[in-house]
Amino acid sequence: MKKIAIVAGESSGDLLGSHLIKSLKSVRSDLKFIGIAGPKMMKEGANSFFLMEELSVRGYFEAFRKLFYLIKLRKALLKQILNEKPDLFIGVDAPDFNFWIEKQLKKKGVPVIHYVSPSIWAWRGNRLRKIKKSIDHMLTIFPFEKNIYSKANIQATFVGHPLAEMIPFNPNKKKAQDKLKIINAYKVIALLPGSRQGEVKWHAQLLIDSATEISKKIRDVKFLVPLPTRETYDIFSKTLFKNTHAELDIQLLIGHASDAINAADLVIVASGTATLETALYKKPMIVIYKMSLISWQILKRMRYLPFVSLPNILLNKFVVPELLQGDATSENISSKAFEILKDASYRKNLIIQFTKIHHQLKQNTSDRLNRVILKFIK
Structural domain contains residue 253: yes
pLDDT greater than 60 at residue 212: yes
The verdict on 370 and 356 lying in the same domain is no
The verdict on 226 and 295 lying in the same domain is yes
Q: How far apart are CA 26 and CA 29, in angstroms?
A: 7
Least confident range from 144-153, 156-165, 267-276, 329-338: namely 144-153
Q: How far apart are CA 81 and CA 335, in angstroms?
A: 51
pLDDT for 123: 46
Domain of residue 184, CATH code: 3.40.50.2000
According to DSSP, residue 45 is labeled: T
Residue 250 in contact with residue 223, Cβ under 8 Å?
yes
Q: What's the full length of the chain, in residues? A: 378
Structural domain contains residue 166: no
Q: Please name every residue paired with 371 in a beta bridge, in sequence order, or none if there are none.
A: none
Q: What is the per-residue pLDDT across 37-55, written as a single tens digit (0 to 9) for each?
A: 999 999 999 999 988 877 7
Q: How far apart are CA 99 and CA 94, in angstroms?
A: 8
The verdict on 154 and 181 lying in the same domain is no
Structural domain contains residue 23: yes
pLDDT for 189: 98
pLDDT greater than 80 at residue 353: yes
Q: How confident is the model at residue 281 (pLDDT cuts 50, 70, 90)?
A: very high
Question: What's the mean pLDDT when you consider all of the chain?
Answer: 91
Structural domain contains residue 167: no
Q: Return the amino acid letter for 31.
A: L
Range of the domain at 147: 2-160+363-376
The verdict on 255 and 293 lying in the same domain is yes
Structural domain contains residue 84: yes
Structural domain contains residue 179: yes
Strands (E), 259-364: 266-270, 285-289, 322-324
The verdict on 156 and 240 lying in the same domain is no
SS3 (DSSP) at 235: helix
pLDDT for 378: 75
The verdict on 181 and 326 lying in the same domain is yes
For the chain, what is the domain count? 2
Q: How far apart are CA 340 and CA 207, in angstroms?
A: 17
The verdict on 128 and 269 lying in the same domain is no
The verdict on 207 and 85 lying in the same domain is no
The verdict on 221 and 145 lying in the same domain is no
The verdict on 213 and 251 lying in the same domain is yes
pTM of the entire predicted model: 0.87
Q: Please name every residue paired with 285 in a beta bridge, in sequence order, or none if there are none.
A: 267
pLDDT greater than 80 at residue 95: yes
The verdict on 141 and 272 lying in the same domain is no
pLDDT for 125: 46
Neighbours of 174 (CB within 10 A): 10
Q: How far apart are CA 347 and CA 187, in angstroms?
A: 15
What is the C-alpha radius of gyration for the chain, rounded to an integer number of angstroms?
21
pLDDT for 231: 92
Q: What per-residue string of b and e applies to 240-263 under the rule 16 or more CB within 10 Å gives b?
A: beebeeeeeebbebeebbbbbbbb
